[in-house]
Amino acid sequence: MGTWYEVEKLPAVFEKGTCIQATYTALSDGSVRVLNQELLSNGQISSTEGVAKVEDPAQPAALAVSFSKESPPGPYWILSTDYKTYSVVYSCSQYSPSLHQNLAWILARSRTLDKDITSRLRGVLAAAGVHLDRLEVTNQTGCDAMA
């Protein structure tokens, strides 16, 4: 729970800004409120709210996240975390036999993360089959408006 800052990611069409962060809040029904925010180039803060749910209590790191009632929930798998410094998250959705979408994020409790830790977390993503050459560093500078 709490706020996590995006350090690196696979490109996603729904993320266009800088200073990207997510705040997770436990809800009374056991689900988690997800508030994603980013700073757009015009200085405005864009927010998207969703809900994450554990689908199988035997696998608490495998969640389903929904940001719209019109679309089905997407997978959100926490591959690694120490709960206080970093988390590695992966998602793969298959839309047809020839169309799928891979998403991945390295998240941190601060806007920067030690390069040795980031390198180790890239290894976690590589082990999950993520093409590291597609990872992008998220711009976390000039984020005063996000405070």
Domain of 47, CATH number, reads 2.40.128.20
Tell me which residue range forms the domain holding 101: 2-137
Q: Whole-angstrom Cα distance, residue 7 to residue 110?
A: 9
Q: The whole model's pTM is what? A: 0.92
Higher per-residue pLDDT: 139 or 71? 139
pLDDT digits (tens, 9 = 90+) for 95-114: 677 766 789 999 999 999 99
**Number of domains observed in the structure of the chain:** 1
Whether residue 106 is contained in a domain is answered as yes
93 alpha carbon, distance to own chain's centre: 15
Higher per-residue pLDDT: 108 or 69? 108
Which helix (H) or strand (E) segment holds residue 49: the answer is strand 45-54
Provide the pLDDT for residue 94: 67
CB 103 within 8 A of CB 12: yes
